[in-house]
Amino acid sequence: MNNLRFQALQDAVSRRPQSFHNEQKKSTLFGSHVFTKKVMRTFLTKQAFIEVNEAIEKGTKIKRTVADHVAASMKDWAISMGATHYTHWFQPLTGATAEKHDAFFDFDSNGDSLEHFDGSQLVQQEPDASSFPSGGIRNTFEARGYTAWDPSSPAFIYGTTLCIPTIFVSYTGEALDNKTPLLRALNAVDNAATQVAKYFDKNVTHVDATLGWEQEYFLIDKALAASRPDIMLAGRTLVGHPPPKGQQLDDHYFGSIPSRAITFMRELEYECMLLGIPVKTRHNEVAPNQFELAPIFEEANLAVDHNALLMDIMGKVASKHHFKVLLHEKPFSGINGSGKHNNWSLSTSTGINLLSPGKTPMSNLQFLTFFITTIKAVHNYESLVRSSVASAGNDHRLGANEAPPAIMSIFIGSQLSAVLEDLEHVSKGKLSPKEKTDLKLNVVGKIPEILLDNTDRNRTSPFAFTGNKFEFRAVGSNQNCAIPMTVLNTIMAKQLMEFKSEVDALIKSKKLKKDDAIFNVLREYIKTTKNILFDGDGYSSAWEKEAARRGLSNLRKTPEALAVRVQNDIIALFEEMNVMNGVEQKARYEIQIEQYVQCIEIESLVLENIVNNQILPTAFKYQHMLVENVSGLKQIYGDTFSKHAPVAMSTIENISNLTDKLHAACETLAKERSKSNSMSKLDDRAQMYAKNVLPLFDTIREAVDGLELIVDDSTWPLAKYRELLFLR
CB of 471 to ligand ADP, least distance (A): 7
Q: Which is nearer to ligand ADP, 119 or 212 (CB)?
A: 212
The site partner of 321 among Mg ion, ligand ADP, none (C-beta below 5 to 8 Å per kind) is: none
Question: Is the four-CA dihedral 283, 285, 289, 293 of positive or negative sign?
Answer: negative
Does the footprint of ligand ADP cover residue 366 (CB under 6 A)?
no
Which residues 664-693 are close enough to bind ligand ADP by CB under 6 A?
Answer: none
Q: Which segments of 352-400 does DSSP mark as H helices, in order?
A: 361-380, 382-387, 392-395
Long-range contacts of 144-151 (CB under 8 A, 24+ apart): 144/170, 144/171, 145/169, 145/170, 145/171, 145/176, 146/171, 147/88, 147/90, 148/123, 148/124, 149/67, 149/88, 149/122, 149/123, 149/124, 150/179, 150/183, 150/301, 151/52, 151/55, 151/56, 151/62
**Of 71, 122, 204, 211, the one binding ligand ADP by CB under 6 A:** 211
Q: How far is CA 459 from CA 102, 481, 546, in A?
A: 47, 20, 19
> Who's near 281: CB < 8 A, 6+ residues apart?
214, 292, 293, 294
Check binding of 464 to ligand ADP (CB under 6 A). no
Single out the residue of 140, 468, 554, 668 in contact with ligand ADP (rule: CB under 6 A).
468
156 vs 344, beta carbon nearer ligand ADP: 344
* Least distance from ligand ADP to the Cβ atom of residue 254, Å: 11
* Rounded CA separation 188/409 (Å): 24
Specify the residue, 214 or 603, whose C-beta has the smaller distance to Mg ion. Answer: 214
Contact window for ligand ADP (CB under 6 A) among 337-345, 411-419, 636-644, 697-705 = 337-345
Helices (H), 253-345: 259-274, 300-320
**Cα 555 to Cα 11, 342, 385, 386, 544, distances in angstroms:** 44, 20, 11, 8, 11
Is residue 284 at the binding interface for ligand ADP, with CB under 6 A as the rule?
A: no
Q: Is 297 in the site for ligand ADP (CB under 6 A)?
A: yes
Smallest distance from ligand ADP to CB 210, Å: 4
Provide the CB-side half-sphere exposure for 658 (13 A, CA): 26
Q: Which of 252, 306, 436, 469 binds ligand ADP (CB under 6 A)?
A: 469
Phi, psi (5° rounding) for residue 68?
Answer: -60, -45
> Does residue 228 interact with ligand ADP by CB under 6 A?
no
User: What are the residues facing 113 on neighbouring strands?
Assistant: 107
Supply the minimum distance, in Å, between the C-beta of residue 58 and ligand ADP: 22
Q: Which residue is nearest to Mg ion (CB)?
A: 341
Query: Could you say which of 296, 452, 505, 602 contacts ligand ADP (CB under 6 A)?
Result: 296
Output 227 or 466, the one with its CB closest to ligand ADP: 466
- Minimum CB–partner distance for residue 281 and ligand ADP (Å): 7
- Residues lying near Mg ion in the complex (CB under 5 A): 214, 341
Select from 353, 554, 567, 578 the one that contacts ligand ADP (CB under 6 A): 353
Give the Cα separation of 235 and 329 in Å (integer). Answer: 9
Residue 276 engages ligand ADP in binding (rule: CB under 6 A): no
Closer to ligand ADP by CB, 62 or 308: give it. Answer: 308
Give the nearest distance from C-beta 198 to ligand ADP in angstroms: 20
Q: Could you say which of 125, 178, 345, 614 contacts ligand ADP (CB under 6 A)? A: 345
- Closest to 52 measured CA to CA, from 123, 120, 131: 123
Among 530, 716, 536, 541, smallest CA distance to 617 is for 716
Task: With CA atoms as reference, report the closest residue to 711 among 640, 628, 651, 642.
Answer: 651
Residue 343 found at the interface with ligand ADP (CB under 6 A): yes
Q: Are 291 and 214 in contact (CB under 8 A)?
A: no
Q: Is the C-alpha dihedral spanning 697, 699, 702, 704 positive or negative?
A: negative
Question: Does residue 215 interact with ligand ADP by CB under 6 A?
Answer: no
- Tell the smallest beta-carbon distance from residue 474 to ligand ADP (Å): 15
**What is the closest distance, in whole angstroms, from the C-beta atom of residue 343 to Mg ion in the complex?**
7
Binding status of residue 458 toward ligand ADP by CB under 6 A: no
Strands 279-284 and 290-295: antiparallel
Among 247, 374, 466, 604, binds ligand ADP (CB under 6 A): 466
Residue 476 near residue 400 (C-beta atoms within 8 A) = no
Minimum distance from residue 304 beta carbon to Mg ion (Å): 17
Binding residue (CB under 6 A) for ligand ADP from 162, 275, 294, 416 = 294
Binding to ligand ADP by CB under 6 A, coded x per residue (else -) over 615-654, reads: ----------------------------------------
Size of the site for ligand ADP (CB under 6 A): 14
Shortest distance, position 328 Cβ to ligand ADP, whole Å:
22
> Smallest gap, in angstroms, from Cβ of residue 475 to ligand ADP?
13
Minimum distance, C-beta of residue 217 to ligand ADP, in the bound complex (Å): 15
* Sign of the alpha-carbon dihedral angle for 173, 178, 183, 186: positive
Q: Do β-strands 207-221 and 323-326 pair in parallel, antiparallel, or remain unpaired? A: antiparallel
Residue type for position 475: V
Closest by CA position to 709, among listed 244, 202, 61: 244
Instruction: Spell out the residues 6+ positions from residue 595 whose beta carbon is closer than 8 angstroms to its own.
Output: 94, 95, 133, 391, 392
The site for ligand ADP (CB under 6 A) is made up of: 210-212, 214, 294, 296-297, 343-345, 353, 466, 468-469
